Homo-oligomer: A and B are copies of this chain.
Amino acid sequence: MTSLSTQSCDACQADAPQVTDQERQELHPQIPDWILVEEDGVEKLQRHFRFRNFVDALAFTNQVGELAESEGHHPAILTEYGKVTVTWWTHKIHGLHRNDFICAAKTDSLFSGD
């Protein structure tokens, strides 16, 4: 199985399919630190990352921002003192696309320095 973090996150069309239950069962174990959250009826992937201070948190926010720009897919990034919360979902389909799992895995790679 190809690692999620090495796949590319294709731009998503409004008629693209949400992940199926089967895909979810295959993909979620590859990003075990991410939880599924529902906000306003939209399912999203979310993970909290911990840091020593605000500067380190903001540096990670910028790394995730750079990833987002390079993938053409943008998460919500909440920066606080010592903590960054990243949330991925696909706006156009109001839910989760395979892209979101790929981008979550790439975010993990940034954190662990892989």
Contact = CB atoms under 8 A, between A and B. Distances in A.
Nearest to A66: B58
A49 interface: no
Copy number of this protein in the oligomer? 2
A61 B79 contact: yes
A111 interface: no
Contacts of A58: 61-62, 65
Interface residues of A, number: 16
Contacts of A65: 54-55, 58, 79
Nearest to A91: B81
Interface string A6-28: 00000000000000000000000
Contacts of A4: none
A91 B77 CA distance: 20
Interface stretch (A37-45, A68-76, A94-102): A68-76
Given A61-B61, A62-B62, A68 B54 contact: yes
